[in-house]
Amino acid sequence: MGLFSKIKSMFQKKETIEEEQLIETEIDEVEEKLEKVEVKTKKEEKSVKKEEPKNNNVKVYEKGLTKSRQGFVSKLADLTNRYKKVTDEYFDELEEILIMADIGVNTVMDFIDRLRDRVRVEKLDDPEMLKEIIVDELFIIYVNDSVLTSKLTYNENGPTAILFVGVNGVGKTTTIGKIGYQLKNEGKKVLLVAADTFRAGATAQLKEWSEKIDVGFYGKEEGADPASVVFDGLVKAKDENYDVVLIDTAGRLQNKVNLMKELEKMNKVIDAQIDGGATETLLVIDATTGQNGISQAKAFKEITNITGIVLTKLDGTAKGGIVLAIKETVGIPVKYIGLGEAKEDLQVFDIEKYIYGLFKDLM
Ligand SMILES: Nc1nc2c(ncn2[C@@H]2O[C@H](COP(=O)(O)OP(=O)(O)O)[C@@H](O)[C@H]2O)c(=O)[nH]1
Ligand SMILES: [Mg+2]
């Protein structure tokens, strides 16, 4: 039984832990990954009982990934139906499907190589059997050398500062609103700071979000020095005992040097005010931009220390494979995914729910 089947039954609650232990796995590599997953599964089961947030259901993933599932997975299912045997043509078509899903050319090449090896070693030639292995291998791409959880790091003493970076229009301000809403519901005192003073209306838009989700706000006039907004925002956060400060920034990537300097200056201000500085710098990427988003991730990684990625607009794309590509090409974990425009439409990224949402119709 492969990883996907385990994930599937986990969500369909058909399987007991005793049965799980009896299952024999195919090869060592998968077995190893599987152990990591099981540990997480058990942990997750515990935490699910405690405090499953209302909107953090696998259904949200299913719904948000409908487009990706229809595009990519239905092609995969169709491929399986058309081939009786695994041939070179089969691999060529599979390669094309995966590249179309924005998994990224190099990732796909490696993936196909591994798949060919497994087909040879395990003497598989039935495309039907290969389906499950494909899902397993995609999963392995993600979990390789990484922790499965995507929790935010908080500052133990004093406010936690989180910087949001990314190019214009990707969904930074919206994401701040959504994360602010979640943190507020967790009982945290949240302040939104409008350090995108470049774009007209950016400050007003963030202020509107603060009103919508009923949290604190700090901003200045358009054109003000972003670092000075951060400075005054942090003073307010400390004076008024805020727990978390979410900082919106302008992302003019076309001028890398300026952007780097601006982010450096903001970080200096944060370092001076808070022990340990910003605990997270989240890069926001629009999933609908595909490979362009990957290039943005690479560019931002060069100019500042990114701790996690928020992948927005996954509801609007058939290219859900980008999650795997980002992980593989830039090595930064996806911490949140955006699945719509409303305050509830944000999920802490969970690879198992994601894989299930993406592939549930395949098996
Ligand atoms: N469908 C969808 N739209 C989103 C999502 N996140 C943001 N948007 C929309 O993308 C547009 C740009 O968002 P905004 O937060 O202003 O981007 P910013 O320039 O990076 O701050 C707005 O119309 C948002 O409503 C998402 O997850 N799904
Ligand atoms: Mg904005």
At position 53, the amino acid (one-letter code) is: P
CA of 169 to the centre of ligand 1 (A): 6
Ligand 1 close to Cβ of residue 104 (< 6 A): no
Per-residue model confidence (pLDDT) at position 278: 95
Cβ–Cβ under 8 Å, residues 342 and 348: no
Q: Is the pTM of this model over 0.75?
A: yes
At position 306, the amino acid (one-letter code) is: I
Per-residue pLDDT of the chain (363 residues; tens, 9 = 90+): 566 676 667 666 543 443 444 444 334 554 555 555 555 444 444 443 333 444 457 788 788 888 877 777 788 888 888 998 999 999 999 999 888 877 777 778 888 998 898 888 888 888 888 887 887 777 777 666 554 456 788 888 889 999 999 999 999 999 999 999 999 999 999 999 999 999 889 999 999 999 999 999 999 999 999 999 999 999 999 999 999 999 999 988 778 888 999 999 999 999 999 988 999 999 999 999 888 898 999 999 998 999 999 999 988 877 777 887 887 778 888 899 999 999 999 988 887 788 777 777 665
Residue having the nearest C-alpha atom to atom 1 of ligand 1: 340
Residue from 205, 312, 322 to probe ligand 1 pocket by mutation (most atoms less than 8 Å from CB): 312
Per-residue model confidence (pLDDT) at position 109: 87
Per-residue model confidence (pLDDT) at position 41: 46
Rounded-to-integer distance, Cα 181 and Cα 302, Å: 30
- Would you say domain 160-350 falls under CATH 3.30.420.80? no
CA of 222 to the centre of ligand 2 (A): 13
Partners of 310 in the β-ladder: 284, 336
Per-residue model confidence (pLDDT) at position 351: 78
Locate tokens 């988003």: which residue?
A: 293
Structure tokens at 274: 């808070």
Residue having the nearest C-alpha atom to atom 14 of ligand 1: 171
Per-residue model confidence (pLDDT) at position 168: 92
Rounded-to-integer distance, Cα 311 and Cα 317, Å: 11
**Looking at domain 3-143, which CATH architecture does it have?**
Up-down Bundle (1.20)
Per-residue model confidence (pLDDT) at position 362: 65
Per-residue model confidence (pLDDT) at position 26: 39
287-310 in b/e form (b: 16+ CB < 10 A) is: bbbbeebbebbeebeebbebbbbb
Q: Domain ranges in the chain?
A: 3-143, 160-350
